[in-house]
Structure 1
Amino acid sequence: MKKKWLFLGGVTMIIIILASFSFLNRLKIVGNLAENNEEVIVLNNKVWEITFSKKLNPDSVNSRSVYILNEKGEKEQVKISLENTNKSIEIQPPSKGYNLNSPHYTLVLTKDIKTKGGQNLNQSVKTAFKVINTLPAIGSRKKLNNYFSKMSNEDRTVLAGRDMAVSEENSSEKSSSDSAGADYSGTNIQVAGIDEADVVKTDGTHIYKITDNKVQIIKAMPADKMKMDSVLTFNQAFSPYQLFIEGNQLIVVGHSYIDTPDHIGKAASEKKIAPAFHSTKTIVFNIENKQKPVQIREADIEGSLLASRLMDGKVYFITSYYPEYWILERNKNADLRPRYFDTAKSSEQQIVDYNEIKYFPGSQNANYINIAVLNVRSSREPLSITSYLGSGNEFYMSHNNLYLSAVSYSNEIIADRQMPQPDTSIYKFKIKDGKVEFQASAEIEGTVLNQFSMDEYNENFRVVTTRGEARDERTPSSNSLYILDKNLKQIGQLEDLARGERIYSARFMNDRIYMVTFKETDPLFVIDGSDPKKPSVLGELKIPGFSNYLHPLDENHLIGFGYDTKITGGKGTGSQPVITTDGVKISLFDVSNTNKPVEKDTEIIGGRGTYSPLNYDHKALLIHKKKNLYGFPISIYQNKEGSQFESTFDFQGALVYKITAQSGIELQSKITHQTENAIYEEWEETIERLIYIGDHIYSISPKKVDAYHIDGFKKAGELELN
């Protein structure tokens, strides 16, 4: 009898195990789409992407198994496609968009959806959604705190997030000052007419620079009689790190951290707000009298600065702010709205109104993006500020629109495990009368490298992305170009470029698009974007090293700034090659024959350890277009003989090259502030920027400014800084 019960127990256990195995291997939807019984709010260009636990049978995915019903119960004409190697279903909106007058719809996924092995979806899924054409406002404290409470309850991990054509409206061949015809250098910018902040600026007579938590105003002309006109100092709560110049105004932007003083309105405890105020501060000075600048305005915006631009007398700020939403566990009525301060409006700290806080439907981000506009031509016009619940990583600005990219995550099954896959949300904001208004959003595959990965041309938005990992065979990387219309509807694409590599730089030049990818060699892609619906690869060039900044020399030539590389190992079975960077590399690309781009000339500077700020900051590049001069700071190290990885310090300073299509890359001058027998880099002598005024080039370090005549580079003057 005992043996019989043991036998029956064993059979039962096997049945349970098999049933459990069968359940675990059923076709399921990855994510919470199936669990959401509430009506979901989406924007009118919503693209649904539903990921499954297994690869689907393409024959089972059709208008009978996947469809969208309107309020009348009729099927909408939507485009259905399989993505992610048949693990995801993508549903595009109707060609004319959803009907906003009848905004209620239902997404239906039936059990007829099958895997290749014939397994059905374990149950039919219906998701009700409502379509809107603009971002909704939070509207109340209760709704805002409910939003953040959800974040706290789900214990989400929040990671902080952090402008190229040769046309008249979109080019960085001209610096901000060149475009005005002035005989002095401006910051190397992405879009003509839209200035970018930097640590050094000039107005043609003076140099403005940030050093040691202060701003120095230096009379630069005449070059042999330079002198310090004035120094702006600040308290320890403010750290300046960016400058703009607009007419007779100097705009100093920096980081501020203070405790909220009780005398400003009610005490923080009474207002139920956090006592500390971490902000991006802007201080505006009238510099008509350079020896006695006068502070005329001050503004604070809560959060860390993501980006800033200056156009037509208005400064545009994007800040990211993470509120301390966990305090809701102790105080359910805490005020988690962003704060700001503007002396043009009030002497008291302000809080963004609940109706000015918008949210992106479906957002899972526990931070704000604050977009503020400061009119420096009108000291009495209040700061315009709108807050959005969401994240942001990279920023691009045209003359009419702002674009913000944010990493978004979707679930994918990789090696039988559910893993988050980073993709990108694009948010478009229209600039009108000094106001910024949300226009549209879109979801694209992959992630954006930097501002030069984005561009606006003929009202279309263009972006290049990388998806996957360059050295992970489970999710091999690939690169794509997406072209979206003015409503951010995708109209063209190039996908699956350079598998196993990732994007290191990009440049948009009217109808041509250039992209550099890298893993072991540097492929430069030349892409034809003249037909935005059908972009195509014209040519490809593979060379050692890579360029992480591309700059247009002329219509048919590009300058690439990056690194030379060396490959070691990888000869044995299963062994991987080791890629190491060597010296800094300058490449001159000839793309006159778009089908066969060539590296016309190259210059390799130093060995391992050599680096330049230009490798990560395009604003470090001096451009003198009339003289064909290109200069940048650099620290040079030489490879140690007999050692594979060691190197020795050689030089810190700046190099100036003459670069032309005819003669290639020619070194003109090697400038340094270091002593003759220096054996290592010293901060005080590190050249940070080169600028030019008239016939002189100025090298600028924390403790010194030197001037050199532009013809022959003979020293014309120097100024020691205290």
Structure 2
Amino acid sequence: MKKWWFVSGLLLISIVAAAFYSFSQFKVVNAWEEGQGVLPNKVWQLQFSEKISEKSLDPDLIYVTNDKGEKLETKLELGDDRKTIFIHPPENGYDLKAKEYTVHFKKGIKSALGRELDSEQTWKFFVKETLPTVGTQENLASYFEEIMKEEKRARGWLGGLKESFSMNDSAEESASADKSGGGGDVSETNVQVQGVDEADIVKTDGKSIFQAEYDKVRIIQAVPGAQMKVLSTIRFERDFSPSQLFLQEDQLVVIGHQFNEISRSYEEVAKDSLIAPMMQSSTIIVYNVKNPEEPKQVREVKVEGHYVSARKVENLVYLITQHYPDYWLLKENREIDIRPKFTDTADGPKEKTVGYDDIHYFPESRQPNYTVIAALDLDQPKKEVSMTTYLGSGNQLYMSKENLYLAVANYEDMDLKDRGVMAPDTDVHKFAISGMDVQYHSSATVPGTVLNQFSMDEHNGYFRVVTTKGYAWDEKRPSSNHLYILDKNLKETGKIEELARGERIYSARFMGDRIYMVTFKETDPLFVFDASDPANPKVLGELKIPGFSNYLHPYDENHIIGFGHDTKIVAEKGASQPRILTDGVKISLFDVSDMSNPKEKFTEVIGGRGTYSPLNHDHKALLFNKDKDIFAFPITVYQNSEKNEFESIFEYQGAYIYDIDPSTGIHLKSKITHINGDMPYYEEWERQIQRLLYIGDTLYALSAEKITSHKMGSYEKVGELGF
């Protein structure tokens, strides 16, 4: 018996010693799949268990060879964490003619403490010119089975995660605007790129106003403002909810979410037909509204998945959706078809499925969903919708007239148990657009995460992006903020890193060669970049002020408007850090005529804690026209209570109209409300003004309950139409 205990003790000591030895070794901690296929501009990352000696950035210790054994000219870079080495590709990318490549790293690599790498290794890979396709049902099933295996491992660490960590993900587009709509006599949706329209809940053609709301679209005669009336109402069944609109001459495009009902259980239908039924879709319905009193439906397109975003360039509409398939069905029968489906009445009522040869995937990605880009030509109603399908997600989108960019969180080397604790980097995928043809172009990985559409821009062939690396709340690994400039093939051209440590980006604005970025934790630093030399961008100025701007809007070449919140710093006894309280809505006019010395020239603070505006998160809520002296937006105002800091008192609900002038300041010109009489005790959602627009000399305010018209300048009410 004693002998057994003795042997068991020795065995336990050996296991502990081996584990200690393994964990204490200086080694590479990320593993790559042998024989991996990558794109020509792939940047490899070597992640080590300890901080690395800078002397280890030696091309004789870390290098890449081709199939002839020739060493390539690659660039080595040490990451911010000092534990990661980036291996950049040759100047023109990896040559497609080579059959394979090999990454070498030798034992001479040392940690900052002088410990040597435990063993030298080689990893092989090959290069593909463009994205591969799934090809077969077997390949697609295997793809999702690998995801299920990874999720099962993660549940072991997390103590019982639900079936899929990503089934509850939602796609919220947080958009931005670059050019105010408002040329001529009719205002337009405030969009990011001039010439690239964005879907919105309200549109106008200068005669009628089109409003999407819950289960209907109203077409309202707007001119003259004193004689408004509802010309027609397009009502929808309970399974369809309209949320976004486009107008193209006499065509109204209604985009919404549709839920499809089935008579039997979902599982039974899938097993019997071996096809997972399409339960939800993003649906486009096109109407001819030449006679607005009798709109006529001309086309309907359904694309499986939830709505991400939409753009319109002239007569072409681009709809981006995400679809999380029920891949758990493969456990019951791996023959079940979980490809995304669509219908298009231009080609009949029959439901279609995206072909296996038309489903692309990113070689290193393992994402459990599809991104679908559907393109349709409004001038050719009988031409079938064009579908571009990829495995992988991307909630943040930027689009110019020629290219579309998707920003995707990169969890490539991160276990599921680390997601949410460790901050991911971002993959940027570029798609070239030519009419209805959407083709993958190139990809790049940038450190950090992208806040929203504001964070990306294309200018003179260069793609610019600002990111936050890490989390502001993580004191052990303080966050930092970066600017990256990539060329037309998404190869890094220039960058600025390590700005505002411990803070995160709240907003950004790209205005030609000038770039503005706001970060925040306790104060609001406004950074001014000069990007006229893409290879050598510079921070020319920095301004620290109370509060933060989560939306930036250009006023003119030398002034920019910030819209956000005021803040208060509250020091507490015994606390290591002060508390930051968000206060009223804040408007700032920044003078950036001297880029090295930006100034907050004028400010306006509205209300106290609890005050909010849709403009804080949705740029399309802004009506701005410098020539008409109008900066208007919906707002709900609360005032601080004298009793305690957590109580707020409701004061006003409606819209504020300002005049902003660099010489005289920010002046409140008028208020508009849809609440009759005294303000109620609480705000009322049905009377909340959603959008403001103008036609000629008349301003219109729309809520769910009514539309009012007002004379521009005096803003005296001239008409009201209740719904």
Q: State TM-score, norm by structure 1.
A: 0.93
Aligned to 1:659: 660
Distance 2:170 2:101 in 1: 34
Q: Deviation digits for residues 222-255 of structure 1, max 9, x if unmatched?
A: 1111111000001111111001111001100000
The separation in 2 between residues aligned to 1:18 and 1:418, in whole angstroms, is 32
Q: Is the 8 A contact 2:177 2:553 kept in 1?
A: no
CA distance in 1, matches of 2:7, 2:290: 96
**1:57 Cα deviation (Å)?**
2.4
The one-letter amino acid of 1:349's match is: E
| CA distance in 1 between partners of 2:429 and 2:107 (Å) | 35
- The percentage of aligned residue pairs carrying the same residue is 50
**Correspondences of 1:3-152 after superposition (within 5 Å):** 17-33=16-32, 36=33, 38-152=34-148
- The one of 430, 433, 439 equivalent to 1:431 is 433
**Conservation of the 8 A alpha-carbon contact between 1:216 and 1:228:** yes
Corresponding residue for residue 215 of structure 2: 213
Matched with 2:159 is: none
CA distance in 2, matches of 1:676, 1:528: 51
Matches of 1:433 and 1:394, distance apart in 2: 22
Q: Aligned match of 1:396 in 389, 395, 398?
A: 398
Structure 1 residue 31 displacement after superposition: 2.7
Structure 1, unaligned stretches of length 5 or more?
Answer: 164-169
Deviations 1:599-647 (A, max 9, x none): 1111100001000000000000012332120100000001111311211
Per the TM alignment, residue 45 of structure 1 is displaced from its structure 2 partner at its CA by 0.3
Amino acid at match of 2:714: G
- SS state at 1:344 partner: helix
1:14, CA displacement in angstroms? Answer: 5.8
Q: Is the aligned partner of 1:367 residue 2:373?
A: no
| CA distance in structure 2 between the partners assigned to 1:108 and 1:219 by the alignment | 70
| Alignment CA distance shift 1:9-1:286 (3 Å) | closer
Counterpart residue number, 1:167: none
- The alignment status of 1:237 with 2:239, answered yes or no, reads yes
- Once residues 246 and 634 of structure 2 are traced to their aligned partners in structure 1, the CA distance between those partners, rounded to angstroms, is 21
Asked whether the 8 Å contact 1:259–1:276 carries over to 2, the reply is no
**Distance in 1 of aligned mates of 2:582 and 2:277:** 47
Shift of 1:6: 9.6
1:633 aligns with 2:629: no
- In 1, the alpha carbon distance for the partners of 2:144 and 2:24 equals 35
SS at match of 1:328: helix
CA offsets per residue over residues 324-353 of structure 1, 9 Å max, x none? 111111111111111001011121011111
- Deviating more after overlay: 493-502 vs 124-133: 124-133
Contact 1:404 1:428 in 2 (8 A): yes
SS of 1:407's equivalent in the other structure is strand
| Structure 1 segment 144-163 matched on structure 2, within 5 A | 144-155=140-151, 157-159=164-166, 160=169, 162=171
1:706 is matched with 708
Q: Within 5 Å, which residues of 2 pair with 1:305-320? A: 305-320=307-322
Give unpaired runs (5+ residues) of structure 2: 155-163
Tell me the equivalent position of 1:489.
491
Q: Distance in 2 between matches of 1:16 and 1:594?
A: 62
Within 1, Cα distance between the matches of 2:390 and 2:286?
26
- Matched residue SS, 1:456: strand
- Given that 2:101 and 2:126 are in contact with CA atoms closer than 8 Å, whether structure 1 keeps it comes out as yes
- Give the Å deviation of 1:9: 9.0
CA contact (8 A) 1:259 1:275 kept: no
RMSD, matched Cα:
2.4
Partner of 1:586: 587
Structure 2 counterpart of 1:478, from 468, 476, 480: 480
Distance in 1 between the 2:682 and 2:332 partners? 53
- CA deviations 1:640-672 (Å, max 9, x no partner) are 113112111000000000112122111111111
Q: What secondary structure is seen at the aligned counterpart in 1 of 2:595?
A: coil
**Distance in 2, Cα, partners of 1:549 & 1:171:** 9
Residue by residue, what CA displacement relative to the aligned partner does 1:82-111 show, whole Å, maximum 9, x if unpaired? 213321111001112211111411112223
State the shift of 1:119 in Å.
Answer: 3.0
Deviations 1:676-708 (A, max 9, x none): 222211122111111111111111111111111
- The alignment status of 1:503 with 2:505, answered yes or no, reads yes
Distance 2:36 2:13 in 1: 42
**Is it true that 1:541 corresponds to 2:547 in the alignment?**
no
CA distance in 2, matches of 1:504, 1:707: 35
Which residue in 2 is equivalent to 1:670? 671
- Normalised by the length of structure 2, the TM-score is 0.93
User: Is the partner of 1:154 in helix, strand or coil?
Assistant: helix
Change (3 A) 1:75 1:336: same
3-state SS in 2 of match to 1:30: coil
Aligned partner of 2:454 in structure 1 is 452
Q: In 2, are the aligned partners of 1:279 and 1:303 still within 8 Å (CA)?
A: yes
**1:714 partner amino acid:** E
The 3 A distance-change label for structure 1 pair 338 and 13 is closer
Structure 1 counterpart of 2:523, one-letter code: T
Cα contact 2:215–2:242 (8 A) shared by 1: yes
- Shift of the alpha carbon at 1:73? 1.5
- Quick one: structure 1 residues 639 and 112, their matched pair in 2 at CA, closer, same or farther if it must change by over 3 Å? same
- Correspondence 1:139-218 to 2 at 5 A: 139-155=135-151, 157-159=164-166, 160=169, 162=171, 172-175=178-181, 178=183, 181=184, 183-218=185-220
Counterpart secondary structure, 1:153: helix
Give the whole-Å Cα distance in 2 for the aligned partners of 1:248 and 1:532: 43
**Corresponding residue pairs, total:** 700
In the TM superposition, what are the counterparts of 1:344-355 in structure 2 within 5 Å?
344-355=346-357
Aligned-partner Cα distance in 2 for 1:99–1:276: 42
Tell me by how many angstroms 1:261 deviates: 8.3
Distance 1:604 1:7, change over 3 A: same
Q: CA deviation at 1:53?
A: 1.2
Q: Aligned partners of 2:412 and 2:440: how far apart in 1?
A: 24
What is the letter of the counterpart of residue 516 of structure 2? Y
1:369 alignment partner, SS class:
strand
| Preserved contact between residue 42 and residue 362 of structure 1 (Cα < 8 Å) | yes
Cα shift at 1:23: 2.2
Give the aligned partner of residue 466 of structure 2. 464
The aligned residue for residue 293 of structure 2 is: 291
SS for the counterpart of 2:552 is: strand
- The structure-2 alpha-carbon separation of the partners of 1:417 and 1:275, relative to structure 1 and needing over 3 Å to count, comes to closer
d(CA) in 1 for partners of 2:705 and 2:713?
25
- Are 1:517 and 2:554 matched, yes or no? no
Contact 2:364 2:412 in 1 (8 A): no
Q: Distance in 2 between matches of 1:513 and 1:97?
A: 29
Question: Does 2:256 correspond to 1:254?
Answer: yes
Paired residue type of 1:23? S
1:16 Cα deviation (Å)? 5.8
In the other structure, the counterpart of 1:440 is: 442
DSSP-derived class of the 2:646 partner:
coil
| Residue equivalent to 1:382 | 384
Q: 1:56-77 CA distances to partner (integer Å, 9 max, x unpaired)?
A: 2232342222121211112111
Give 1:553's aligned amino acid. Y
1: distance between equivalents of 2:286 and 2:420?
Answer: 51
SS at match of 2:81: coil
Structure 1 stretch displaced more, 483-492 or 106-115: 106-115
**Would the alpha carbon gap of residues 430 and 418 (structure 1) be closer, same or farther in structure 2, given more than 3 Å must change?**
closer
1:421 aligned counterpart, secondary structure: coil
